[in-house]
Chain A
Amino acid sequence: MGEHVIRLPDVGEGVAEAELVEWHVKVGDMVREDAVLAAVMTDKATVEIPSPVEGEILWLGAEIGETVAIGSPIVRLKVAGEGNVGQGDVAQSDGGERDAAVKPQAAPEPPAQPRVPAAAVQKPATPAVVESRKEAAVAPTRPSGVLGSTGAPRKEGEKPLASPAVRLRAREAGIDLRQVPGSGPAGRIGHDDLDAFIARGPQAGKVSGLARNDKVDEIKVVGLRRKIAEKMQLAKARIPHITYVEEVDVTALEELRAGLNKQKPAGGVGTERPKLTLLPFLMRAMVRAIAEQPQLNALYDDDAGIIRQYGGVHIGIAAQTANGLVVPVVKHAEALDLWESGAELNRLAEAAKSGTATREELSGSTITITSLGAMGGVVTTPVINYPEVAIIGVNKMMVRPMWDGSQFVPRKMMNLSSSFDHRVIDGWDAAVFVQRIKALLETPAMIFVEG
């Protein structure tokens, strides 16, 4: 019998660490070769870690939500035969490696902390920095069941159960015992229950049938949600946003779009075209506008103080999925025509929704579109997809009365709410950019006229 250590493999280009988001196994499980052990998440993509061997799980090296360095041991298996480590040197070699890897970043912490469960001592490969974070997450434990047991105090029509002394006190305090939950046997209300009820303060307009709910659910922010949180925080903390809203008359664009969608593809079989949404037009318009203002299609490395202007227009499309917000990227939009843009958009949206989008498909954008479609509202204040410098927000299209100089006419209007990194984009340039897009969308032929 030998022991086989599985280390976190390199899951993507240039990734140094990944967050463990899911265990598919637990200690004691028997696994076959290629069985999925765990899922880890890098910047955007989730990668499954298969088992290279068959054996029994002896040890798991990380908790869900922990960040694990590439190359760290994550699983130990008992395998038939030799394994890949000698029994004796497991702890030593792992320990040495851990120390070397962790020391530079780990804060000097006392090695033995009272809250760390005893089991943790036997997890030499768990980096200390991770351990301390786990502790922080565990520390604010929920105040035990005292409040949790409150809800509708008792079944309808059932009399509250309390001793005469408790009843008298409640009466004098003006408390309706029917509203007081009882923690005693058979739901008896004691003086403590009354104290707790009084401590919770006066009850605002109690209506029977509506019960207080004092439940507090603790939801660990892990995986994609944590990525989103970190990204949003970074963007809002670092980037001074300037948001510019302009309305666009898309009546002509909508006519064109409807016409194109009605048109049967000329090529016959195999060239079935997707229905066009408004986004491919916007993408084309952005490509045109960026050609005139390349500074909008850039990544600002604020640590290095360098703006990288890109020749290729890689448009991120913010998409809602079951797990949260992801941003699949239409690469080189400048090289895609309207139909190709639409097709690529559909493909990526589908991949993002089904969770099959690759890390590459979910990264590398240089500018982003955010659209909530029919939910788009009148105005949004989009958050820039750091380290980009611009994001174009599409609001809901609606028919509004517009003044044409002599009368009001119904027009299909749509707002664009766009944010820019004001450090590197001046308000003027932002306005010029949006006005250019507006002009292109209002006269859609211009999008397609070369030169």
Chain B
Amino acid sequence: MKDISCKLLVIGAGPGGYVCAIRAGQLGIDTVIVEAAKPGGTCLNVGCIPSKALIHAAEEFEKAKLWAGSDDPLGISVKEPALDFGRTIGWKDSIVGRLNSGVAGLLKKARVKYVQGRARFRDGKTVEVETEIGQQIIRAENVVIATGSAPVELPSLPFAGQVISSTEALSLKSVPQKLAVVGGGYIGLELGTAFAKLGAKVTIVEALPRILAQYDAELVRPVSKRLAALGIDVLVGAKAKGMSSKGDALLVETVEGKDRKIAADKVLVTVGRRPVTEGWGLEEIDLDMNGRFIRIDDRCRTSMRGIYAIGDVTGEPMLAHRAMAQGEMVAEIVAGHRRSWDKRAIPAICFTDPELVTAGLSPDEAKAQGEIKIGQFPFSANGRAMTRQGEDGFVRVVARADNHLVLGIQAVGQGVSELSAAFGLALEMGARLEDIAGTIHAHPTQGEAFQEAALKALGLALHA
């Protein structure tokens, strides 16, 4: 096969890689992107998108079950709902499929050459790709490593058979009757909640003393409350030790030190994600590392000239939107523009029930920098939240005490993921409390809670 020479080679077509390639193509850079699986990466194929599809389906089904009960306050009643899970998965797959072809189309439109296959560095300028039709050599002036991350495996619970990762959980043939989730982080909680709503008996096993440990307790409280209401067992401080000999139960050492068997036909392990630093020839180019991750500077440059790295392979937070922003930046740098990483906030969302959003500094992080003011407004005082039957939760604004510069915003509540846009903008624009308080927020929306929280921090709350 004839060798390819290009200005930019992107390894991995996840959200970081494909965004990088599209922008580079738009900027007239001769770009090639290599992907072993389907375009879109973890996010689109086995992560963000399919999980949200499943979560949506689960919410809808749960509503129907609620209406089938006798005392729905809205007065809606239905017959016992039934779930054709195969169709649910089919619907989810169709969304993924549409997005796959969407990304492929965008790459094509940007004149990016798409090479299907597994890439491997031969040296800093040369990559060989194992394609279906043989080996393809690609020489590139610049290479972007966007190999992403993969679920972490527990030695005691290797992925096989009943023990599944999030990837398999999103493509199950049927809803498991009993699901044990190892790891009470956002992935485990999102999927665990969804399967509980779909009818599974879910137990969550978390080794740390509480779930969603990186968030403050106040923020997590509505989530815990909802988990309990859904009948999900949450075991904190508990260690997963392995499968029972019969393979029908998870063995757990509880916080009291007792062994416990949790009956499960599926065990979902969501104890984190690791950067994919193997299988593509890292050893050939010997890049400086930052722990498990590839070390990068504020322009995503690695220790080798002409080689960039973006996305999950470069470190926390492992979020698609971070990778996308990095990818876009690197494309522009390769095009000769002056760019460097100067983002103030990378909002993060847990699509739990209720949803949880954080942007910027937490109250504790902010406190470490100096005196702060906090304004917190509950959804129980928000009209729109009431009409949505979602009164749990709040919006919290953290600002500097001296000049009221907003340092961080957190929210928990139904549908608050969409507020992340406002939160991110406020932080990125360097808003002060007065800016948020002085912006008209449309009524009746949950967004009003954001304005009210800012007003409250200023001591001027109207509805609290």
Contacts and interface: CB of A to CB of B under 8 A. Distances in A.
B405 A186 contact: yes
B93 interface: no
Contacts of A267: none
A186 B432 contact: yes
Nearest to B434: A185
Interface stretch (B118-126, B199-207, B332-340): B332-340
B265 interface: no
Interface in B57-96: none
A162 B430 contact: yes
Nearest to B428: A164
A172 B339 CA distance: 8
A174 B338 contact: yes
B373 to A, nearest CB: 13
A185 B428 CA distance: 14
A163 B429 contact: yes
Residue of B339, B342, B430 ringed by the most chain A CB atoms within 10 A: B430
Given A162-B430, A163-B429, A171 B338 contact: yes
Contacts of A172: 337-338
B338 A185 contact: no
B316 to A, nearest CB: 20
Given A161-B405, A167-B342, A185 B337 contact: no
A172 B332 CA distance: 11
A341 to B, nearest CB: 67
Interface string A374-401: 0000000000000000000000000000
B338 A187 contact: no
Nearest to A159: B344
A163 B344 CA distance: 10
Contacts of B428: 163-164
B403 A186 contact: yes
Q: Which bucket holds chain B's interface residue count?
A: 10 to 19
B404 interface: yes
A186 B340 contact: no
Nearest to A168: B339
B213 to A, nearest CB: 28
A188 interface: yes
A161 B340 CA distance: 16
Nearest to B435: A185
Contacts of A159: 344
A188 B340 contact: no
B430 A163 contact: yes
A184 B434 CA distance: 13
A340 B216 CA distance: 90
B340 A171 contact: yes
Nearest to A162: B430
Nearest to A157: B369
Interface in B416-460: 428-430, 432, 434-435
B365 to A, nearest CB: 14
- The residue in A161, A162, A164, A186 that gathers the most chain B C-beta atoms within 10 A of its C-beta is A186
Nearest to B400: A186
Contacts of B432: 185-186
A98 B337 CA distance: 72
A187 B339 contact: no
B338 A186 contact: no
Contact of B403 (A162, A163, A164, A187): A187
Interface in A181-230: 184-188
A188 B344 CA distance: 13
Nearest to A185: B432
A187 B340 CA distance: 22
Given A186-B430, A186-B432, A171 B405 contact: no
A184 B431 CA distance: 11
Interface string A147-174: 0000000000001011110010001101
A162 B427 CA distance: 10
A161 B435 CA distance: 14
Interface in B319-367: 337-340, 342, 344
Contacts of B344: 159
B334 to A, nearest CB: 15
A171 B400 CA distance: 27
A172 B333 CA distance: 11
A188 B338 contact: no
B15 to A, nearest CB: 20
Contacts of B405: 161, 186
Nearest to B399: A186
Contacts of A186: 400, 403-405, 430, 432
A130 to B, nearest CB: 47
A344 B435 CA distance: 74
Contacts of A184: 430
B435 to A, nearest CB: 8
Contacts of A185: 403-404, 432, 434-435
A102 B338 CA distance: 68
A174 B339 CA distance: 10
A188 B337 contact: no
A369 to B, nearest CB: 60
Contacts of B404: 185-186
A186 B434 CA distance: 11
Interface string B401-418: 001110000000000000
Contacts of A163: 428-430
B338 A161 contact: no
Nearest to B339: A171
B430 A161 contact: yes
A172 B344 CA distance: 19
Contacts of A164: 428-429
Contacts of B342: 167, 171
Contacts of B337: 172
A387 B403 CA distance: 63
A167 B329 CA distance: 13
Contact of B430 (A171, A174, A188): A188
A430 B15 CA distance: 91
Contacts of A188: 430
Contacts of B430: 161-163, 184, 186, 188
A163 to B, nearest CB: 5
- Count chain A CB atoms within 10 A of each CB in B342, B403, B432 and give the residue with the most: B342
Nearest to A177: B342
Nearest to A188: B430
Contacts of A161: 405, 430
Contacts of A187: 403
A185 B436 CA distance: 13
A155 to B, nearest CB: 10
A154 to B, nearest CB: 11
Q: Which 3 residue pairs are nearest across A and B when measured between Cβ atoms?
A: A161-B430, A186-B403, A186-B405
Interface of B: 337-340, 342, 344, 400, 403-405, 428-430, 432, 434-435
20 contacts: A161-B430, A162-B430, A163-B429, A163-B430, A164-B428, A171-B340, A171-B342, A172-B337, A172-B338, A174-B338, A184-B430, A185-B403, A185-B404, A185-B434, A185-B435, A186-B404, A186-B405, A186-B430, A186-B432, A188-B430
Given A167-B342, A184-B430, 5 more contacts: A159-B344, A162-B430, A163-B428, A164-B429, A186-B432
